[in-house]
Structure 1
């Protein structure tokens, strides 16, 4: 294997400890070199070999680092990604890529000028649920897809303990937070829509950020609804697809985050595998015969994202989630807000 990619992580909160550090620790193509922790040194309890910096600015002065993971609050993605690029580093930036399309376009241009890579960490592409949906669509099991619904719901009346998520500023709220995941999934499957209609609301008591949205994405022969609501006690299926030949219904069941929260490392043949009772229901026509059965799910693997980053930087293979794709998600989010405010369909 080529020289490992020396990597620095901007934060060791939920995102850093669950979605990044375990993978950087395990993947032989990376060395988890550095992290920013301003007061607590929690990282070193589990990764004692990591160098701890008190600020992102100090970490970026480390000339040995080749890759920086920007996993800070949404509003700071632009600032820290730009600083990392100016310091000559490749960047993995958490979703949402930026808060505005203007910020994203500037970063894309800067990366091109510097001949550096920006990749957006869209980990839900690597969930077992979504991988199964992708397989059903790509194998044509439903025929032409006509109508799709993606749900990402929660039941949580209380405000988040993460204070930065509950501040009334651009980049906060459920459309940027959870919407980034399911919009990205829709765009990955079906491409950019021609237009968007949005309904964005605040429904929790005392909330000052949006915690409900429904976007309708228009395609020439397809309609895709992406929805999230923080007050759904009885969850609907996360994925509902109707095609000319049949339907596929799938609940959200990826187990990776729950396993990572228990402190388990992402390894072993059963990692990311769903139990049979979580499989999706296929009801379709196969060679003139009606078929109704549960399909075994494809295991999820967030490690595949980091394998993609390794291959992009060391083997010249495609970036697994190019910045341009992250930018398209922001374009749809901005159109959703504009549509909701003006109560009209927004053409893209």
Structure 2
């Protein structure tokens, strides 16, 4: 595809939670992107949220539109690969919501196709720009913890009732908690600590009648260091979101990044308070001698992902998330499922 004009006309496929609360408002907030079209049956919601944005009847019609330069796929997981393939074959740059693919082999094929066509392909790992993650990275970079020997990244919910829908219908179609929250936690762990030597995993379906995993715990092995990634649907009193323990001290942080709740409430990215955590969820640094220090949370900003996409397409910068990074996460998820099924620790090539 030849160099796109600025701003880049962008089309979003899907207007459920991801399309309506994450992708569309972030695209609309980036100067060098133009939210031009959305594929959805919810035309009234689009008219309310984004007046003037076209509503398109089908993904095929949006992909065929010559004015669209970037296609964003925010559909149920099992549709990610076929839609991304169709968009790449039509000469469009592509953003795929996580998980990139259900099968890592399909993700690898998409990367090869994008490379062959000379197109930008990226995966929406927006949690790299969470307030809490940026804060944790800053604490690690400061050296205040010394060498970290135990890190716990947890994402808990309290949802005893099964909601239904595709996320709780079939693991084969990308359902289950590991496919939903696992990509975020794994991506954050890889960004902080790199590739592990091995992993072990425990998966369970704990709620009566549930058809997919609704609990997971992965242990990543880095020599003597252990990194634990966990999620549960039956935790009413949430555990720390991050807990890192090193030779010089510990950093513990509760609460979730506020950007999702901010956008779901109808506010705009960039409004006063966007990405800023309340003081009550600031983390605490505890030193070996018992001293404590409150750490002001960094400001999160998911807009940086889409600003990075504009830079990649228009200026030739690297994508904000390399698809190879997302593929590495998919491969760990596949290995985790094997580990849980076979009840053993798995080496990572």
- The two structures have a TM-score, normalised by structure 2, of 0.95
Which of 190, 194, 204 is the aligned partner of 2:193? 190
Residues 155 and 233, structure 1, Cα contact 8 Å, conserved in 2? yes
Shift of 1:32: 0.6
Aligned match of 2:19: 16
Give the corresponding residue for 1:281.
284
CA contact (8 A) 1:246 1:283 kept: yes
TM-superposed CA distance for 1:39, in Å, is 5.8
Deviation of the 1:168 alpha carbon: 2.2
Q: What's 1:76 paired with? A: 79
Aligned to 1:169: 171
- The answer as to 2:342 corresponding to 1:342 is yes
SS of the residue aligned with 2:217? strand
Q: Deviations over 1:194-215 (max 9, x none)?
A: 1110001100111010000000
Give the gaps of 5 or more residues in structure 2. Answer: none
1:123 corresponds to which residue?
Answer: 126
Q: Does 1:47 align with 2:53?
A: no
Distance in 2 of aligned mates of 1:84 and 1:140: 44
Residue among 225, 232, 237 paired with 1:234: 237
User: Number of residues paired by the alignment?
Assistant: 343
Structure 2: distance between partners of 1:268 and 1:262 = 12
Residue 21 of structure 1 and its aligned partner are, at CA, apart by 1.1
2:251 pairs with 1:248: yes
Equivalent residue number for residue 308 of structure 2:
308
Tell me what 1:135 maps to.
138
Contact 2:27 2:303 in 1 (8 A): no
1:108 alignment partner, one of 95, 104, 111:
111
Q: CA deviation at 1:144?
A: 1.0
What SS does the aligned partner of 1:60 have?
Answer: helix
* Cα-Cα RMSD: 1.4
Deviations 1:16-42 (A, max 9, x none): 111011122221111111110136442
The equivalent residue for 2:8 is: 5
Measured in 2, the distance between the counterparts of 1:105 and 1:253 equals 31
Structure 1 gaps, min length 5: none
Are 2:242 and 2:253, in contact at CA under 8 Å, matched by a contact in 1? yes
Report the Cα distance in structure 1 between the residues aligned to 2:154 and 2:256, rounded to whole angstroms: 13
Deviation at 1:308?
A: 1.2
CA distance in 2, matches of 1:96, 1:104: 10
Aligned counterparts of 1:64 and 1:221: Cα–Cα separation in 2: 53
1:269 Cα offset (Å): 5.1
Give the distance between the partners of 1:329 and 1:126, measured in 2 at CA.
17
Helix, strand or coil at the partner of 1:178: helix
Give a deviation string over 1:281-323, Cα, whole Å, max 9, x none. 10126xxx76411110101111111111111112222211111
